[in-house]
Amino acid sequence: MSRYDYVTVGHVTVDVMADGTRRPGGGAFYSALQAARLGLRTLIVTKGVPEEIEELLEPYRDELSLQVLEAEHTTTLATAGSGAKRKQHVLAWAGAITEPLVLNTSILHLAAVARETPKRWRGHPDFVGLTPQGLVREWGESGEISLVRMDPFDLPSHFDAAVLSESELSCCEQLAEGALLAVTAGSQPTLVHLGDGVVVPVPLPVPLVAEPRDDLGAGDVFAAAFFVALRDGLSALEAAAYGNAAAAVRISGVGPRAVGTAEAIAAVSGR
């Protein structure tokens, strides 16, 4: 595999919305799209039915490279509501990514949505970012997703920074023990854990988040912008402010097409 600027690993999902429409989703997709719109050469490594995922991502294929590991199903989620009130059911699951991966990239982003990401890989990423959402999820026969405490055994062999939501933090207490961690909380300030118990709030740009139109994928967009800013040498607090601006642009529109360009984010962040 040739070297990329940004590689995401995780399930690209089929999100079945409350009105029955189907659109691409999953942290691997939203984060990769944000990285691409920041000008990075980007690859998604995912698992599912190749033809289904290729068709789903066709509108974005001039922005993204794609590697699909073949599976019987594509992970499919029924999605209703928004923010803390969002409910999701697993309708189909592509399975864990157990295939050996060679990942040469400046930034590697492990973006689990449903317990699929690998703990080890070959290659030489310069920076490893983690969004552990999918590592604290479980679902039974009904498919309804609930949160469970993270098993440290599921964590990757190493990572440089992690992003998770406020609702997931209580399941991931071990991540706050020394790791650089950003915790998003909807319209409330993002909390940056700098280690040694130091936590600093970073406010969001209020005018843009007062009336969000659609927040699906906003945390993934934040994560991509946060990781890119860290790689570019910004401090953790500066990177969180940049991530907040990216999330604000995303929620001001509807669906993946609302993921912001570098210019749109700069207009909000001042960078």
Category of 243 on φ-ψ map: left (φ > 0), alpha (ψ -120 to 50) or beta = alpha
Question: What domains are defined for the chain?
Answer: 4-269 (3.40.1190.20)
CB 46 within 8 A of CB 53: yes
Closest CA to 34 of 234, 204, 241, 229: 229
- Residue pLDDT tens, the chain, 271 long: 568 999 999 999 999 988 888 999 999 999 999 999 999 999 999 999 999 999 999 999 999 999 999 999 999 999 876 655 677 899 999 999 999 999 999 999 999 999 999 999 999 899 999 999 999 999 988 898 989 999 988 999 889 999 999 989 889 877 766 679 999 988 889 999 988 788 999 998 865 555 667 888 999 999 999 999 999 999 999 999 999 999 999 998 888 999 999 999 999 887 7
Closest CA to 91 of 112, 114, 110, 59: 114
Q: What is the reported pTM? A: 0.94
CB 31 within 8 A of CB 223: yes
b/e map of 196-220 (b: 16 or more CB within 10 Å)? Answer: eeeeeebebbeebbeebebbbbbbb
